[in-house]
Every structure is written in C-alpha cells, then in structure tokens.
Amino acid sequence: MQSTLPVQLDTAGYGALHDPRTLPRSLAGRVLLAIAASGLVALCAHVSLPLYFTPVPLTLQTLAVVLIGFTLGPVLGFSAMLLYLAEGAMGLPVFSPHGPGGVAQLLGPTAGFLFSYPLAAAAAGGVVRAVRLGRSQFLGAGIAGVAASFFIFAMGAGWLAHWLHLGPRAAWHMAVAPFLPGEVLKVSAAAGIYSTLRRWRRS
C-alpha cells in the first residue's frame, strides 16, 4: 500500500504541482494553467484606454491572448479563453471596465473581439508549432501572431459593423486601423517573450 500511494497521487496530478515541467501533462495542472491564463487576460483587460471615436478601447488583452496561445498550445489556449468568456458571462470583473460587464458586454459592440479570443489563441498556438524557421522562435511566433490577429480584427470589425450598421470603410477606421500599430507592438512583445522562454527551457 505504501509503495503505490505516491504513484496514485501523481496520476491524480498532485505531483505535477511540485514540478512545473509536468504541469501541462496532468489534469490538475491544465486546469490551473487555464485559470491562470484567464486571470492574465482579465488583468490586461483593465489596462484600458477609451477612444472618443470608437466604442472599442485600447487594451493589452490581445497581447495576453496571443502569448497564451503560444505557451499553452491550441487546445489548452482555446479552453482557457472559453473559461475567460464564461467568467465574464457570470459577472466576474474580467472584461474591460469601459463596458457594461457581464452578458451585456458579450452582446455589445466589442463582443466580436471577445468571441475571437478562443480562435485567436488556438491559431497562435497551432501556427507557432507548425512554423519552424531556424533555432529562433521569434519569426515563427510573429507569423503565428499575425494569424491570431486576423481572427481578432475580422471578428471584431465584422461584429461592430453589424452592431452599428457600418460600411466596410467605417468599420476599418473604427475597429482596425487605429489598433494596427499597437497590435504590431503587442505581437512583437509576445513573440519576444515566447522565444526567450523557449531559449530558457533549452538551456
């Protein structure tokens, strides 16, 4: 009995809590990572700057979403973002404060951006694992970040155009163009962090 107890505890995921390298392989570890990831997006959502010409604020959310996709992979990244949306729907203060919060925010003008997060994280995680360009992961991560940003802007602008009855030009100027420079910086930062983490793990 004494010789099998540690094995039983480890298969339940408790042993992974003491070894970060095995954390993503256990159920308990994956749950903890998903909760932590949703918390990171919530923190970044509160770094928010409203803009007078659009209902879409500037936030750091997409930086967190792309980085989560890179680090957790497509499946767990997708699941973590679904958890984030569920937390918001339950009324937890995880969305940008420049909105009504709760279900109302999931039906408002920025809903397309919010619902793009699971797909964006999955795209970032899937593409960064498929694209291998030399030893450095920075360029591959940059390409994966662009793929994730495509989902974010396409769904965000598409929903805003529907919600406000906008034409393509107006949707571009309200939901895409003002955010492109910041998105380049955020994708570059996420790619830099991810490539640094990969080098650290190899060392």
The burial of 180, by beta-carbon neighbours within 10 Å (0-12 exposed, 13-18 middle, 19 or more buried), is given as exposed
Per-residue pLDDT of the chain in tens (203 residues, 90 and over written 9): 444 434 333 333 334 333 445 555 688 889 999 999 999 999 999 999 999 999 999 999 999 999 999 999 999 999 999 999 999 999 999 999 999 999 999 999 999 999 999 999 999 999 999 987 767 789 999 999 999 999 999 999 999 999 999 999 999 999 999 999 999 999 999 999 999 988 887 76
CA distance 193 to 88: 27
* Lookup: tokens for 118: 């699971």
For the chain, domains (ranges, CATH) are 5-202 (1.10.1760.20)
Measuring CA to CA, how many Å separate 27 from each of 13, 22, 36, 102, 177?
6, 11, 14, 28, 41
Three state DSSP letters for 18-67? HCHHHHHHCHHHHHHHHHHHHHHHHHHHCCEEEECCEEEEEECHHHHHHH
Question: pTM above the 0.75 mark?
Answer: yes
Cβ-proximal residues to 87 (8 Å cutoff; 6+ apart), any chain? 38, 42, 94
